[in-house]
Amino acid sequence: MANPASKNGYDVQIRYRTLSIHVENTKDEKVFLSRGKKDVATDPATAIRNIDVHQLNVDEVYRRYSIAPQVGLEASSVARKAKLGKNIISSPPTHYWKKIANYVFGGFNFLMWIAFILTVLSYQPLGGDDPAVYNLGVAVLLILVIVVSAGFYAWVDWHASRIMKSIKTLIAEEATVIRDGKRQTIPAADVVAGDLVCLTIGDRVPADLRLVSTSSDVRFDRSLLTGESDMIAGSVDPTSDNALETRNLALTSTFVVQGNCIGICFAIGDKTVMGRLVAMSGESKFKLTTVQREVWFFTKIISAGALFTFILSLIIWAAWLRTSFPGYLTASTAIINSIGCLTAFVPQGLPVCVALSLTIVAKRMAKRNVLVKNLATIETLGCMSVLCSDKTGTLTMGKMSVQNVAFLDQEFVVDDIRKRLQVTDASTPSAVRVLHLVARLCNGARFEDDSSTSTSVEERSVKGDATDTAVLRFSESLPTLDSSLLSDSHEKLFEIPFNSRNKWMLSVVRERKAAEDAHTWILVKGAPDVLFPACTHFLDADGQLQYLDSKSRSRLQALQMRWSGQGQRVLALCRRAPSTVVSKIDYFNTNPNTIEEAMYSEMQDLTLVGLVGIRDPPRPDVKDAVAIIRRAGVRVFMVTGDFKLTGVAIAQQVGIVTQEKIDTLAELRSSEYYNTFSQSSRHDIKPTDDDPIRALVITGDDIVTLTDADWDAIFGLYTEIVFARTTPEQKLRIVEEAKLRGDNTVAVTGDGVNDAPALKASDIGVVMGSGSDVAKDAASMVLLNNDISSIVDGIEMGRLVFDNLKKVIMYLLPAGNYSEFMPVFANVFLGMQIALSSYLQVCFCITNDVVMSIALMYEKPEADLMLRKPRNARTDRLTDWRFFVQVYLFIGLMMWPAAMSMWFLYLSQHGFGFYDVILVYNKWADGWKGYTIDELTHFVSVGQCCYYVAIVFAQYGDLLAVRNRRVSLLQSNPFWGPRRNLIIPVGMLLTVIIAIVNLYGKGLQDVFLTAPIPGMFWGIPFAFGAGILIMDEIRKLIVRTYPKSFIAWIAW
């Protein structure tokens, strides 16, 4: 079921707590009487106060919903109740007027509105009795710009959201229910009131449930509702009269993080507590991503500069030009020319490209079946410097299978045991039957299908974690040993499921025989290094009980080391008879917590039945993906709950560890470089390019003892690290300590409940599509096809979006900002006729700038993009001083003088010298240099068009130059090869056509005073564009040849 509440952040948690307080105030009826005629039935506090299912005993709950334990709803009841609606929480209402207002006034559109209003004023009333049609034309053009921009923003937003919604539907949210006495897995949306719902570790609660059966250790994560990270114990009995506080209700969108339980659904969809909170929360708040925040900051700076120069030009006109040079500029003309300050400063293509990046990212990620919850995830991936990866199910396939079985005196390959059992070979170890019993009955997994003959064991669907699934399939696959008969002949009395803290599972089973003949066994399965100390005896292969002495322990540990070194997960299978005290427990009427405490006291004097070695092969794509990620400057660490040798073996297989010498904590502390960072800032704690590659293995026991100095040395000196035998709390601490140092942007991959805290605390949480619901909720990116190479795609995409936006700004500023502003500056301060009309400025901003900016956003990655160091999110900004040196002191300093030279060259052909054009002010009037005012106006119009065409073609050189930061155009042209981008030549052709239409369109000539220009002014600007490109090619050559030179140092 969709979880819209996750979008609302702390708002849901605040409303949950507020609602809980209101529900507590049951005696204050005035609160509700004061509501007047409002329908109190729809009030969330009233509705939740009316919940009483938690106060009923279990039998009363079954009677209320007319269902029987272990049977659930009948098909006819399900069909009837399904008509009442789906179990789906409605999304918060969308305030479309806010969206429309953002489209219309967002970005630089508000500056366009200012320009539009002032242009209309300059037409009337400031235009007088004979207002210039030109002014009205510019006003129409500006409103057209606003409409087109708003429409484009709306289309991009709609398109991106549609793609993301389609991807989210690929995540199947399911629920396990009991109907007609059978367990069924159904879509969560099909759950109905009265359903008997079964929950296990890692499941999301699909609806509001009244718990009727729980394991002793069941725990829920309610942080989405309460904001508190502590696990909440589940209970069958009520613990509070308040439905929001009692522990015998499991509420929608919370998670089972430990144990298992069964509950009866009493509310679905919008009638759940979460549904009511979402309805109260209203529309989710919009949050800016990192890049959007930087662009917004840049927009504010640019807008402030535009408004300042606009106001300054009007002040100068009013205070100086109007009085000192009467007739030079009328009020209407001064406003129109000053509008150039607004349009010149506005890089109109920038907000378009930021919006477009949403669609580009969404499409690319959709193609790879990657669910990205927001654009910020991709941007952050571009900054990622540390990747902490879980092992099982992430680096490995998560398809475990038992490969080896060993008793203390014999070791077997599983296939060998199967063959011996098939031929009833006398050499079959007798202990195999005991091992089979422990493997089958001390197991948290189960087959979902009823038939054992319809499909092979390997193809049958299993509900449970990968380790239990492997052991279950192994026990089921042993010939002549009937697992179903074994299950039917034993009754499970109690169970403590596996958890990451104990690292073992315990089951109490009893034979289904007469009481005096029935044997009860305590069966335990778990990590050998945890269970070996609790073992005092062992079964040999013949099934004989032997004492476990120190020599035998050494043999077992050596075997564990050998199997772990091969990358196998090793499990110890043990049993014991219960003590006299425990054997007298009434398992059906004793509090589960009391039983659990008693079982902990039984974790001694165990008999080791045998060891099993489980193989989980690495994913085929992981090694190449790790290599690419490491080449991109990202350190990859393994964080696993497995034994250290198993973790190291897999790390070596996938390329996380490449060094033969792997340090331990003791070796680290005794090394000569241990105190390297004792005086360093936390920002500097990271390996340098000159440091050798070092490898380290740290265990969970080590982590408990680590000091700040240890953490500094770990993250400052080591490139290859394996953290083994870690608990969820330790995984969380690893992430937090990594984030504290070296300006690290930390990503975490995982798929299980144990990974959820670390996933949530990381900068980027990445979970496999096959992962648990808890992990998916905590993560910000879901790899639906379980392909870890998608992370590589995400890193590249994050870097590419940032890189291309940087190029867009680099392209826009020299012409769209610098070269357009200089004519306005010369007009106001130097008394020259404006060299680029307001119409041509606006036209250039909305056509050339936008078209070419979009072309740049579709640029493919440069060859070295994935070889660069990760961007430091704290210090590396979208623009910096090097960037502005390139814009204003290199490209821009070539472009605007080149364009201005075309203005002066054209006027010089008609007898105007330099000082006949500049510092003229109001002399440019009828009779100046023997020309009439109409002729002078024509010269200005043609000169403006010459300037316009010059920056159109000069900008081609800028465009081709900014495509690459280091590589020559000859190696990455837009026409063919890996950097092919045919949108660029198409865009160039389109801008030429626009220029031709502007200059030769009869209607445009009449309204906007454009005019054809001499042929030479179409040709010379090509040389300007080529010159800019050649100069930048020379700069790049110097940077490549002399990487430590001054030119390389100031390179953007």
Q: Is the dihedral of CA 649, 654, 659, 663 positive or negative?
A: negative
Q: Is 304 exposed, middle or buried (0-12, 13-18, 19+ CB in 10 A)?
A: exposed
Q: Give the position of tokens 């429309």.
A: 100
Mean pLDDT for the chain overall? 85
Confidence of residue 212 (pLDDT cuts 50, 70, 90): very high
Instruction: Please report the pLDDT score of residue 37 as a whole number.
Output: 39
CA angle 797, 803, 804 (to 5 degrees): 90
Q: Give the position of tokens 């064991």.
A: 457
d(CA 503, CA 500): 5
| Kind plus residue range of the DSSP H or E element containing 334 | helix 331-345
b/e sequence 623-646, b meaning 16+ C-beta within 10 Å: eebbebbbebbbbbbbbbbbbbbb
103-112, 675-684, 786-795, 797-806: segment of lowest average pLDDT: 103-112
Instruction: Please report the pLDDT score of residue 43 as a whole number.
Output: 63
d(CA 366, CA 785): 11
Average pLDDT over residues 132-152: 84
DSSP 376-432: HHHHHHTT--EEEE-IIIIIB-S--EEEEEEETTEEEEHHHHHHHHHTT-TTS-THH
- Sheet containing 386-389: give its strands across: 370-372, 781-783, 764-768, 746-750, 386-389, 635-639, 720-724, 695-699, 662-663
DSSP 889: I
Residue 219: CB atoms within 10 A of its CB come to: 21
d(CA 249, CA 236): 8
d(CA 875, CA 686): 15
CA-wise closest residue to 768 among 341, 371, 190: 371
d(CA 379, CA 794): 9
DSSP 637: E
Is residue 453 scored above 80 in pLDDT? no
Instruction: Please report the pLDDT score of residue 824 as a whole number.
Output: 86
Of these ranges, 212-226, 341-355, 765-779, 993-1007, the one predicted with the greatest mean pLDDT is 993-1007
DSSP 888: I
CA-wise closest residue to 489 among 512, 507, 473, 468: 512
d(CA 4, CA 291): 25
DSSP 636: E
Average pLDDT over residues 54-71: 89
Bridge partners of 750?
A: 767
Of these ranges, 425-439, 518-532, 812-826, the one predicted with the greatest mean pLDDT is 518-532
Bridge partners of 256?
A: 220
Judge whether 530 and 503 are in contact, CB under 8 Å: yes
Instruction: Please report the pLDDT score of residue 943 as a whole number.
Output: 96
Average pLDDT over residues 1046-1050: 91
User: Would you state the structure tokens that stand for residue 981, as one six-digit string?
Assistant: 């981008």
- 390 a catalytic residue: yes
Confidence of residue 376 (pLDDT cuts 50, 70, 90): low
Report how far Cα 622 is from the mean position of its chain's Cα atoms: 20
DSSP 899-950: HHHHHHHHHHTTT--GGGTTT-GGGSSTTGGG--HHHHHHHHHHHHHHHHHH
* Residue 1000 vs residues 481, 851, 949, 995, 997: alpha-carbon distances, Å: 92, 21, 13, 8, 5
- Residue in 203, 217, 221, 390 annotated catalytic: 390
Instruction: Please report the pLDDT score of residue 579 as a whole number.
Output: 84
Instruction: Please report the pLDDT score of residue 266 as a whole number.
Output: 92
Instruction: Please report the pLDDT score of residue 503 as a whole number.
Output: 87
User: Would you state the structure tokens that stand for residue 165, as one six-digit string?
Assistant: 């919604």
Confidence of residue 28 (pLDDT cuts 50, 70, 90): very low
Q: Write down the number of H helices and E strands in the chain.
A: 42, 29
Residue 1014: CB atoms within 10 A of its CB come to: 12
CA-wise closest residue to 852 among 687, 986, 732, 947: 986
Q: Give the position of tokens 């890193």.
A: 795
Model confidence pTM above 0.75: yes
Helix (H, G, I), strand (E, B) or coil at 537: strand
Average pLDDT over residues 917-937: 91
Q: Give the position of tokens 């996933």.
A: 759
Average pLDDT over residues 707-725: 94
Pair type for strands 746-750 and 764-768: parallel
